[in-house]
Amino acid sequence: MPDRIHLDGIFRQIVEAAPNAMIMVNMAGRVEMVNTQAEQIFGYTRNEIRGQSIEMLVPERYRGRLPGPRVTLFAGSRSGPMAAGRELHAVRKDGSEFPVEVGLNPIETDDGPMFLAAIVDISHRKLEEERIRAALKEKDILLGEIHHRVKNNLQIVYSLLNLQSARITDPAALELLRDTQNRVHSMALIHQTLYGSKNFAMVDFAMFLGTLLPALIQSYSIDADRIAIHVDVEPVRLPIDIAVPCGLVVNELIANAFRHAFRDRDHGEIRVALTRLLGNEALLSVSDDGIGLPEDLDIPKTESLGLQLVELLAVQMDGTLSIRRSNPTRFSLRFQI
C-alpha cells in the first residue's frame, strides 16, 4: 500500500508548480484539485472545474462508456503509472478537441483513494508527426517514380539493342549484343522488383530471380527439359547497391553455363543458392554439373567478358570470390549485406 498523502499546502504547491496540467479526481470521478497549467489548457478557471465530473473534459462520444471512476476515460480501461501514459483526446471549454497524453497515478489520501492525472497537450507533436508522415509518403512516391522511370529507360535501351540485332548477321557480334541485352534486362528487373515491392531500400532477391531466370531461359532458347535450374534462396532482402551486382553476377554465370557448360551433352543442371551466414554476411553461389573449367584458365586474363565482370563485381561489393573448377563447377561469392 502506498503512503497516505496529506492534501496540505505543501502538496498543493508541488502540484501547482508542475510543468504539466495536473488534475486530482476522487473515486466518484469528481475533480478535487486543479493547477494553473490545467486552467490554461482547458480554458476553465479552477472554480469552474473543481467539484465537477471529469467527463466535462472528455469528448462526449467517450462519456459514460466505462464503469468505475471516470478518470479512467482518459487512460483506457485501467489506470497505470504516469510513465505509461496513453494518447487520447480532451475537450476545451470552447468545445474544441485536442490530442493529449495522460499519465495516471493512484494515490491514497486522508480523504480516500484518488487519481492524480498529468495531462500534456500534444497538438504540436501531432502536427509534426503528420508533416513527417506526409514527407515520407512524398519521398516514397518520388522513389517509386524514379525506379519506374529507370526501369522504363533500361527497357528502351533493351528494345534498341533488339532492333539493332535484327540488322546483324555476324554470329559473334549477335551473341555480344544478346549478352548486353541480358545485362540491361537484369538491371531493369531489379528496379521493377523494387517498384513492385514498395520497399525502395531492400530487394527481395528470391522474387527477382523468379523473374530473371525464365527471361534468361527464353533469351538463350534453352530447353528446360534438357537443362534444369534449381533455386535455393533464403528469404534475404538485399540493399540495392548489393542487389544490382548480385543480379549481374547471377546473369553472367548462368549465361556462361548456358553457352559452354553443356556442350555435347544432352542434359544437365544449374543451381543458384543464396544463404544468410552468421553475422551480417551472405553467400551467393552458382554451380553446374557441366564439363568444368579448364585448369589453365586465368580469370583476370580470360577473353570472357562475363567472367571478367564477375570478378570486377566481386571487388565492387568488397566480396570474396572462390571458384571450384569441376564436379561441380561452382562460383561462390561471400559478401557483407
CATH number at residue 300: 3.30.565.10
Domain around 70: 4-121
In a domain, residue 272? The reply is yes
In a domain, residue 180? The reply is yes
224 with 317, same domain: the answer is yes
The C-alpha atoms of residue 115 and residue 109 are separated, in whole angstroms, by 10
Would the pTM count as exceeding 0.75?
A: no
Identify the domain boundary among 93, 121, 149. Answer: 121
Identify the domain boundary among 89, 121, 153. Answer: 121
106 with 199, same domain: the answer is no
In the chain, alpha helices (H): 9-17, 36-42, 46-49, 123-165, 171-197, 205-219, 240-256, 305-316
* Selected residue with higher pLDDT from 299 and 67: 299
Average pLDDT score, the chain = 81
The three cell numbers of residue 87 are 494518447
287 with 186, same domain: the answer is yes
269 with 146, same domain: the answer is yes
Q: In what order do the strands lie in the sheet with 281-288?
A: 227-233, 268-276, 281-288, 329-336, 320-324
199 with 264, same domain: the answer is yes
In a domain, residue 131? The reply is no
Q: What is the predicted pLDDT for the residue at 197? A: 65
153 with 282, same domain: the answer is yes
Q: What is the predicted pLDDT for the residue at 179? A: 79
205 with 275, same domain: the answer is yes
79 with 208, same domain: the answer is no
Q: What is the predicted pLDDT for the residue at 82? A: 38
95 with 164, same domain: the answer is no
Q: What is the predicted pLDDT for the residue at 306? A: 76
pLDDT band at 275 (very low <50, low <70, confident <90, very high): very high
Least confident of 12-16, 24-28, 143-147: 143-147
Pairing mode of beta strands 112-121, 227-233: unpaired
32-42 average pLDDT score: 91
160 with 295, same domain: the answer is yes
Domain count, the chain: 2
In a domain, residue 130? The reply is no
147 with 117, same domain: the answer is no
pLDDT in tens, 255-274: 888 888 888 777 889 999 99
Identify the domain boundary among 59, 88, 121. Answer: 121
- What is each CA distance from 292 to 296, 302, 323, 327, 337, in whole angstroms? 12, 15, 11, 7, 30
The C-alpha atoms of residue 74 and residue 277 are separated, in whole angstroms, by 49
Q: What is the predicted pLDDT for the residue at 154? A: 76
* Selected residue with higher pLDDT from 331 and 86: 331
In a domain, residue 298? The reply is yes
* Selected residue with higher pLDDT from 27 and 176: 27
CATH number at residue 89: 3.30.450.20
In a domain, residue 126? The reply is no
In a domain, residue 134? The reply is no
pLDDT band at 69 (very low <50, low <70, confident <90, very high): very low
In a domain, residue 153? The reply is yes
| 323 pLDDT above the threshold of 50 | yes
64 with 154, same domain: the answer is no
